């Protein structure tokens, strides 16, 4: 109890510091997260480029109305947190090599200062200047999964993890770890080599679950997938055990050793992240690669639904008031974005949104009940394809056209990274329930010669600067910006 109160006191103290710093220049803290390959780095790069350099943003009202005077990067807000290297990511997207930047592997921050004119002043021609300071916190979605562990002791986590590993999709990839687990006696004396072997095999199982073929989402602990400077440390040298339903771990046992390291992981890794970053967010966008889960099958879809529901229980949803923002800050705007919408024809974008809304239904109900504004969007922060029509026999099909990455292959053809191809992505069903059934998703993308291309990776588009500025093509980035920060620019 005392530890919990102290933890809450530290959160409150940090909130007071944030509020004091923002008295003259109000600050909005936006969290950007999502699970692996959802496109966090690309999204954040496109967001900053659109804010600071403009573009085609008709749904972002403050920009469309001409009320944004300027937007520029400012010095890093937290000295102990790495800066999001937006310049190098933009160079990767738009340079001669045209490649996607490296994904998020650690927490990072960036500050953008937006000078704008209020709508009332703009209409009355008084044009009083105002300023919004936007602090963007980018963090791996795998770390977000860890927050659910704060409510689980070692026994509960072990039993849940073991039960999950028995599923049809998980069992084959968990076989090596489960075989080693069967040789371990939790009550035997602690053994460092046994712990290391168990941790390595357990980590291999989690990594295999993240592959595109399997596309699982619920794979905590998150630092096993992205260890950073903790790689090889005792804090990551533990694994679930088949422990009895009752009783305590014998002193000096393997069970006691694993339990101690699990609790240390929560105390020294998960709680500081929650206190110093997560609990201070005002807005949040969660990026979701729903198409990968749909392609991988019903177990991946069900796992994605579970992950989205479980991890979002950690958010303190609801409208912020002055007093709650000081002591119990809440996420008052929450956006779920189904990424890679450019892999579908626009006629399926609303259907993709409907599927994601169904997947996060329980989480959305909880957030709206708390007063938070919630939305779902089908998004491509950087659009890699364009739409066209192709004739197949007497039928004319809507296709997407793009350049596959070098080395990508389909139907025996290996692409050179320069040639454009046309892909028929199929149609998502109008009823989300049909899409989530085992036989519901029929959107197997095909090339003009009928080859299966649903997992093809496209290169970033070729872009020509306009008056010396590169504007990144997108799908609904402007609508996303309006939802996340538009109300702060009124």
Q: Could you tell me the mean pLDDT of each successive run of 10 residues in the chain, 490 residues long? A: 48 49 69 88 97 96 96 91 95 94 88 91 63 94 86 95 93 96 97 96 95 85 83 88 96 97 94 87 93 85 85 62 46 92 93 93 71 90 94 84 89 89 86 74 44 69 87 97 95
Quick check: helix, strand or coil at residue 426?
coil
Q: Cα dihedral angle (216, 217, 218, 221), rounded to 10 degrees?
A: 110
Cα–Cα distance measured from residue 250 to residue 259, given in angstroms and rounded to the nearest whole number: 11
Instruction: Let me know whether 169 and 232 are in one domain.
Output: yes
Q: Which of 214, 248, 273 is the last residue of a domain?
A: 273
With residue 132 as reference, give the H or E element that holds it. strand 129-138
SS3 385: coil
3-state secondary structure of 37: coil
Our CA dihedral for 396, 397, 400, 403, rounded to 10 degrees, sits at: -70
Eight-state DSSP code of residue 298: H
Task: From residue 224, give the alpha-carbon distance in Å to each of 105, 125, 134.
Answer: 12, 56, 31
> Do 301 and 367 lie in a common domain?
yes
Could you tell me if 410 and 349 lie in one domain?
no
**Helix or strand holding residue 115 (H, E):** strand 108-117
Q: Are residues 259 and 395 in the same domain?
A: no
Q: 268: which DSSP letter?
A: I
The answer to whether the CB of 206 falls within 8 A of the CB of 128 is no
| H-helix or E-strand spanning residue 374 | strand 373-378
| Residue 47: CATH number of its domain | 3.40.50.300
Short-list 230, 280, 287, 227, CA closest to 78: 280
Adjacency order of strands within the sheet including 421-424: 386-392, 395-402, 421-424, 446-447
Q: Are residues 208 and 82 in the same domain?
A: no
H or E element at residue 489: none
Tell me how far CA of residue 293 lies from CA of 36, 296, 375, 435, in angstroms.
12, 5, 20, 11
The separation between the first and the last C-alpha atoms of the chain, rounded to the nearest angstrom, is 43
Predicted pLDDT at 331: 85
Residue 462 lies in a domain: no
In a domain, 77, yes or no: yes
* Confidence (pLDDT) at 22: 45
Q: Which helix (H) or strand (E) holds 281?
A: none
User: How far is Cα 143 from Cα 333, in angstroms, rounded to an integer?
Assistant: 21
**pLDDT for residue 1:** 45
What token pair was written down for 177? 């770890």
pLDDT at position 129 is 82
Whether residue 343 sits in one domain with residue 232: no
Look at residue 171 and tell me if it is in a domain.
yes
In a domain, 220, yes or no: yes
Kindly tell me the sign of the dihedral angle through the C-alpha atoms of 318, 323, 327, 333.
positive
* Domain-located, residue 460: no
453 lies in some domain: no
Strands 386-392 and 409-410: unpaired
pLDDT for 446 = 43
On whether residue 183 sits in a domain, the answer given is yes
Q: Give 391's strand partners.
A: 396
Q: With respect to residue 457, please indicate whether it lies within any of the assigned structural domains.
A: no
Last residue of a domain, one of 273, 304, 320: 273
Residues 288 and 199 in one domain: no
Cα–Cα distance measured from residue 468 to residue 311, given in angstroms and rounded to the nearest whole number:
42
Q: Which of residues 213, 241, 273 is at a domain's end?
A: 273
Tokens of 87: 């310049």
Nearest to 376 by CA among 352, 340, 342: 352
409-410/413-414 β-pairing: antiparallel
pLDDT at residue 322 in the model: 40
Nearest to 84 by CA among 74, 98, 94: 74
Whether residues 163 and 204 share a domain: the answer is yes
Q: What is the CA radius of gyration of the chain?
A: 24
Q: Cα–Cα distance between 149 and 135 in angstroms, integer?
A: 27
Nearest alpha-carbon partner for 217 in 286, 136, 137? 286
Q: Do 267 and 288 belong to one domain?
A: no
Q: Please tell me the total count of domains within the chain.
A: 3
Same domain? For 28 and 98 the reply is: yes
Q: Do both 340 and 485 map to the same domain? A: yes
Spatial separation of the C-alpha atoms in residues 53 and 256, rounded to whole Å:
56
| Structural domain range at position 253 | 153-273
Six-digit token string for 89: 């990511």
Do 291 and 366 have their domain in common? yes
């Amino acid at each position: 109890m005392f530890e919990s109160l102290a933890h809450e006191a530290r959160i409150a103290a940090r909130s007071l510091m944030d509020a004091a710093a923002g008295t003259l220049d109000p600050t909005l803290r936006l969290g950007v997260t999502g699970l692996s390959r959802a496109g966090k780095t690309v999204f954040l790069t496109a967001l900053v480029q659109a804010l600071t350099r403009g573009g085609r943003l008709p749904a972002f009202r403050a920009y469309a109305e001409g009320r944004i005077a300027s937007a520029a990067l400012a010095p890093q807000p937290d000295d102990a947190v790495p800066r999001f290297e937006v310049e190098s990511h933009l160079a990767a997207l738009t340079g001669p090599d045209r490649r996607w930047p490296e994904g998020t592997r650690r927490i990072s921050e960036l500050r953008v200062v937006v000078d704008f004119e209020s709508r009332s002043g703009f209409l009355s021609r008084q044009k009083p200047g105002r300023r919004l300071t936007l602090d963007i916190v980018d963090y791996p979605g795998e770390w977000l999964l860890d927050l659910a562990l704060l409510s689980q002791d070692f026994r509960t986590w072990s039993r849940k993890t073991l039960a999950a590993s028995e599923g049809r999709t998980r069992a084959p990839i968990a076989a090596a770890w489960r075989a080693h687990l069967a040789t371990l006696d939790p009550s035997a004396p602690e053994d460092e080599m046994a712990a290391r072997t168990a941790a390595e095999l357990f980590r291999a199982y989690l990594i295999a679950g993240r592959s595109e073929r399997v596309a699982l989402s619920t794979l905590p602990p998150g630092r096993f997938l992205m260890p950073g400077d903790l790689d090889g440390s005792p804090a990551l040298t533990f694994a679930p055990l088949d422990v009895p339903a009752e009783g305590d771990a014998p002193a000096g046992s393997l069970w006691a050793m694993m339990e101690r390291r699990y609790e240390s992981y929560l105390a020294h890794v998960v709680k500081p992240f929650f206190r110093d970053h997560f609990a201070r967010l005002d807005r949040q966008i969660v990026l979701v690669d729903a198409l990968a889960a749909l392609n991988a099958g019903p177990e991946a879809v069900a796992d994605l639904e579970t992950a989205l529901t479980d991890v979002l229980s950690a958010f303190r949803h609801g409208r912020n008031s002055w007093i709650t923002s000081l002591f119990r800050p809440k996420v008052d705007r929450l956006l779920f974005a189904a990424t890679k919408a450019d892999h579908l024809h626009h006629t399926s974008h609303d259907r993709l949104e409907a599927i994601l809304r169904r997947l996060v239904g329980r989480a959305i109900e909880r957030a709206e009940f708390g007063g938070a504004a919630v939305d779902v969007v089908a998004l491509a922060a950087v659009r890699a394809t364009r739409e066209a029509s192709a004739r197949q026999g007497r039928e004319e099909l809507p296709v997407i056209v793009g350049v596959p990455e070098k080395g990508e292959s389909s139907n025996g053809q290996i692409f050179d990274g320069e040639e454009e191809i046309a892909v028929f992505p199929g149609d998502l069903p109008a009823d989300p329930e049909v899409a989530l059934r085992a036989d519901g998703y029929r959107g197997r993308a095909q090339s003009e010669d009928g080859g299966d291309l649903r997992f093809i990776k496209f290169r970033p588009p070729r872009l020509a600067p306009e008056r010396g500025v590169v504007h990144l093509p997108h799908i609904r980035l402007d609508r996303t910006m309006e939802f996340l920060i538009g109300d702060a620019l009124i």
